[in-house]
Amino acid sequence: MEIIGRITKDAVVHKVANDKQVVNFSIAVNDSYKPKGSTEYKNIVTYIDCSYWLSASLAQFLKKGTLVELFGRIGLNVYIASDSQAKGSLTFHTSNIKILVFAKTLPQIAQGNTTPKAQSDKDPDDLPF
């Protein structure tokens, strides 16, 4: 199965038994439809928890906002909550991750500097191509 979505928060690496590591992250999948008899589209967002067992080093690239294409299988976790209500969540067991668009980072804003950097005085004809 293949799904495409944006990562909702930075990936986290968890250590489990036998020194294995799993990368856990969550994605949001956007979709829209037009109900019968309506002229307006309705937007829906589905949040899916994901796990990736093959390489923990990939977690450094799985940041909030990154657009990823995932291949794998989907699983459903069903349980009875403390209020006696049936609950469920989707988990995508990822076997391959393709990063389509990296998350934008804004180091100036993160450091409190909201003014844009001054333009370089380089001559535009001095480009390497």
**What pLDDT score was predicted for residue 126?**
52
**What pLDDT score was predicted for residue 77?**
87
Specify the higher pLDDT residue, 115 or 67. Answer: 67
Specify the higher pLDDT residue, 128 or 11. Answer: 11
**What pLDDT score was predicted for residue 68?**
96
Tokens of 127: 């480009």
Cβ neighbours for 64, distance < 8 A, ≥ 6 positions apart: 7, 8, 9, 10, 103
Single out the residue of 56, 65, 46, 2 nearest to residue 24, CA to CA.
Answer: 56
- pLDDT band of residue 116 (cuts 50, 70, 90) is very low
Cβ neighbours for 2, distance < 8 A, ≥ 6 positions apart: 69, 70, 71
**What pLDDT score was predicted for residue 4?**
95
Q: With respect to CATH, is domain 2-115 assigned 3.40.50.2000?
A: no
**Mean pLDDT computed over 54-69:** 94
Contact criterion met (CB below 8 Å) for 95 and 72: yes
Specify the higher pLDDT residue, 37 or 93. Answer: 93
Specify burial of residue 7 (Cβ count, 10 A radius: 0-12, 13-18, 19+).
buried
DSSP letter at 74 equals E
Rounded Cα distance between 12 and 51, Å, is: 10
